[in-house]
Each structure stands twice: as structure tokens, then as C-alpha cells.
Structure 1
């Protein structure tokens, strides 16, 4: 649905192709103005230097974001070997450099292989993780030393697309599929450390978040002229098993009452009324089905 189809009270999802140099918060502010509503939220922050898929919820769909399968993400990135920076990316100051003459493509591949699968990763110090109530990046910018704990993440795909060498550095183009909470900057940092020459990220583009990829993403410029959005009912029907309730069941669902004798598939099911209105997400609890979230009042 596009353009005049959207009103300030509509509920839906907008998939934005975020431009470089803009924060995710700024994108949300821009969408608020375009949509004419204050109830806007996003799933999965992107750094200012990064581009690509940012999933934005409008009105009641902001609550749906937490139920969508958005944990798996895909990125295309460029890692520069031969220099370490304060932020693990090109926006930081260079801390150290090292010669890269002895680093071969075979050595890079062997090191990359060690970062596939379930790994323990220390997030970048300039991440948005909170340390004693403040974001880590805020503490770093204030001159504080920040020590973050390692966490388990999954890198299901880590492919080398290209290796380009110069006198002072090696650029490695990679494509990554990973779990939520994986820091691509940290992958760049750790690859450089593994090879003994240092490394940082020079380009990052998110190509997919869950089922949403660049094929359904829109630039802010195009959204300004044609506000393309996905209605909440369409997103729910495409994401979850669907159950079409009768009038009596729909009345109960609207008030969040359990439904007895209703056999639903494991996990969450999208519940619709006879007119096709998306009402709620329900899941089975023994002989009854109970709501996990109700989206109508």
C-alpha cells in the first residue's frame, strides 16, 4: 500500500533503506513526520556509517516488532586489515598500524573460518550496550575506559567475497549471516587481531532483517513522494500461521479471553475476525489458547 492509503491512525511496517551518515533515531523522526504519527519505533539499530534495512513500526505495529522473527540478520561489509581504530570502524581514530605484506588470502580464509558457528564475542566498546545505566559509547566518548563482557553469538555464514591489497593495508569484502547481538565491527577487530595486524570496518550494509530484505526496502526520498508501507494484517498473515475466527471467537479475542477447545500450532498464531481484521497473537497452553498480544481494543 502506498501514498494516500496511509493515515495517521493506520498500523503497519515500513522497511527503510537507511542512508549513511544518519542515525536510526533520525530515521524514526523522519518517518514520524512522513506518517503524521508519534507512535513510531524501529527494530535493530544501525550505526550512522551503516546503510541498509531498518524495520520501522507504525502505531500498533510497534508492538508487533517484538514478536516478529527479526533475530537473524545479513550484512555485506568491508574489513580493512593493517590498522586498529578507537571505534573498530573508519569513524574512529587510528590507534596502531602494522605491515600486511605477509598476510595471504589463505591465511585470511583460515582465520575467518574460526569465526563461523557459535562464537564468544566481546562487543565493540562503542556499542549501545548499557554499563551501569549509561550507553557504552557515551562512556567512551567521555574518556572513560569500558570493559564489556563476552557473549555467545552465532555466525551462520561468513563468506569472503573479495580481497584487495595495497602497500599499507588489505581490504576484505565479506558477507555475513548472524544472530541478533552480533557486532560486525567486532568481527573486523577480531579478524585483524587473529592475523596480528589489526583490523577495522570501513563499510557496512545490512541486507536483511528476518524476512525483510533490500527488495522491500525504500529510501527516505522515495517514501517522501510515495509512502510505501505494509499493513499490520498483511505482515501478521505472512509471518505467522493464520486462524480466521467466527464472530463469537472474535469477540472473546478482542478482550483477550482464553479460547478452550481450540487447537493451534506450536508457537504464535495470528488471529483474524470474519472481516479480515488482525486481532491478536495467540498460542496454545494445554487445552486452551491464550493471547500473547492483543492489537485491538
Structure 2
């Protein structure tokens, strides 16, 4: 019964992308669109990346953007080069954060955002999303030994929430609905949230659980932290592109489909997530099957 429920949720998450692929397949075969034209005229594809969204998109020791989402976007770059017959097409990386990532995609500064952005109906009014490449949920990061296990345990305490994110709206809503006396500390990004927790400014940091696992893994003392709490949400991640760029969206989804069919996306998952000891969920396995559309 549990597996059926998970698969159903993944199906609902993927449904908009299946429809998009069907409706834009003919356009993909026949024409181009403003994003591809912009990339072609500039001779550059601009990738938006996150600096601390481990393991999706972050800076390594050499200050180079790397990660699971970056790997996937570099596959998209290969397909764009082939589509445009531009083998020397350059790649520019632009750092984005939760506050500016949607505007930068929407106004064309960034051609594709490769991070850890949750697809929501509200965001679909401003940008388009690819098929899901990950499924996450909102939980809490706390110090080991803390009595905090759920949001309800934060009464009289403080929680850090990243500004302009799905977890911020979700946890704020839960606190307000239950009339909990919890102090909310807004933070700009994951690094600031973890700093607030590690320095004792807050008792918990809440965001997508996979990002919390990444923060714990990269901490100087990982054993001092733990990810706790029930799953508060069902959050499909997608690559963001400018709205109504149907041909480019079809190309991106075709890349994802091939990566799944060839086993490359699973290999990338194993590379980036095995060190975090996070096995692939039933939700994500179902989403992968749904994304593997035939050519």
C-alpha cells in the first residue's frame, strides 16, 4: 500500500511534464524558440547555479560549480550544442539564490537554473520546469541530543528558515495554524541557516531534507547533527527555464529521458548521494520511470 501511494504521488508530480512533452513535440521537431535563439546569437549558454545546495549545485574546493544538477545541465549543454550545430558553444555560470533565481530565469539573464528548486503551481506562473530530477521533503536539522524532533517541539525556541522558499511558507504556515510560540529567524541561504544553528542562534534549521543531509555531511563535525521530523511535504525538483520556451523545454526533457533510459542519471545519483547515505526513494524511482519517455 505504501509503494502504491508513493508512485501515485510521483505520477501526479510528473503529469504536467508529460502533457508538456506531448504538446510541444511537434514544435521541437519544426522550429526554435527565443531561448535557443538567444543562446545561438550570443554563442553562450548561461547556467544558474547555487553555491551551497549540496549535492545538487555547489562550489567545490576549486570554486567550480559541481553537483548532481550541474552534471545533468552539462548533458543539456551537449544536446544544445548538437541542436544548434555549435560545438564550441561556451558556458557561463551565474550564482543564484532563493531570492533572485526566478527573476533571473524569467528575464533571460539565466538560460537554465540548475539547483534544487521545487516546482510549485505558483512558480509555474513565472517560469517553466523540466521533468522532476529529484523528490524531496521538508524536515529539520538539529544538534544531536536536542529534544526537538518535530516543529511542535520548537515551542519557546527558534528556527531558521530560508527566505522565499517552499519550506519557509510551509513551516510558517504550520506554526501559525497551530499557534505555536516559535521565533522565526530568516536566513538568505543554506550556509547562513547552518551557521545560525551551529553558533546557537537557533535550535533548528528547516529546509529540504536532502539539503540538510548535505550540510551535515560537509560540517566539520557531522556526528553532532541529525535530520529529524516527519515528512512535511512532497517536493519535486526541476530545472527552471524561461516561460513558454516550449522547444527548449522539450530539449531539456528529452535529455532527462535519455539520461534515465541509459542509466546515466541513476549513476549520477549514486555518485552524489551515496556519500550522504541517502538511498533512492520509491518516489524518485517512480518519477524516473515516468520521465523515461521514448524518442
TM-score, normalisation: structure 1: 0.29
Structure number with higher relative contact order (C-alpha < 8 Å, ≥ 6 residues apart)? 2
Instruction: Decide which structure has the larger Cα Rg and report it.
Output: 1
The TM-score with structure 2 as length reference comes to 0.29
More strand by share: 1
